[in-house]
Amino acid sequence: MSIFSKLFGKKGDNNPKNNVEDFASLTRVYFQSVLASNLGISNIRIMPDLAQFKRLFKVPTQNGRLGVAEKAASKKMLMADYGLSDNFFKEIDSSVKKHCRTQNDIQPYMFLYQGFLNDLMMLMSTLMQWKIRIPSIFKSVIKNEVEKSVHKVCTKMVWNKDDVHKTATNVRMYKERLGYSEQWMSEYVYNVLMLAKKAPKPKETAEKK
């Protein structure tokens, strides 16, 4: 699915505001914008999500520097559509600035970042279990449960199940190396969870066809 499928005439469940994939893609646009502006990258072909975003929304390059205008535009959309806090972006800025000083640092950093998110979401699905099925209307309850689960991951050192213990250890390692806080983790998990709840079930999708 395209990052912003509604631009191609899609409607309903393909709305970016209701799609986990589009949320993740738009977050990558912000990351790539920060990298481009920080490192002075001019070759947009190595930033695929940024290139697509720039083309679809016709974002002009600001002062001859790729990433500056795109960073502001993607941040504005993420805050407006998903309610992300300003601190969410400040932590990304700080982490990228600290770990990506040259273009050679980009791939190792993004490898760690993706591993961090994959293990975090897998762990959350295991820890929250039935809580994931709490109706979307109880946003404050869901948010509170996410925050409690994330805090547990970041503070509990010993787990009964070996696989959970290993994944939790990995998440804490990623967190420390990348420099993200419990608040950042909670914001990301909460948004993915709420968007997943809005996704059409397989039966609903089949009936529409």
Residue 4 lies in a domain: no
Q: Please indicate, yes or no, whether residues 80 and 108 belong to a single structural domain of this protein.
A: no
Which amino acid is located at 43 in the chain?
Answer: N
Domain boundary among 84, 115, 150: 84
- Res 197 pLDDT > 90: no
Predicted TM-score (pTM) of this structure: 0.85
Q: Please indicate, yes or no, whether residues 109 and 137 belong to a single structural domain of this protein.
A: yes
Q: Please indicate, yes or no, whether residues 107 and 185 belong to a single structural domain of this protein.
A: yes
- Res 178 pLDDT > 80: yes
Q: How confident is the model at residue 122, as a pLDDT?
A: 93
Q: Which domain holds residue 18?
A: 9-84
**Do 73 and 67 contact (CB within 8 A), yes or no?**
no
Residue 204 lies in a domain: no
- Give CA–CA dist 91/76, Å, rounded: 16
Residue 97 lies in a domain: no
Domain count, the chain: 2
Q: How confident is the model at residue 14, as a pLDDT?
A: 44
Q: How confident is the model at residue 2, as a pLDDT?
A: 41
Q: Please indicate, yes or no, whether residues 80 and 107 belong to a single structural domain of this protein.
A: no
Residue 162 lies in a domain: yes
Residues in the chain: 209
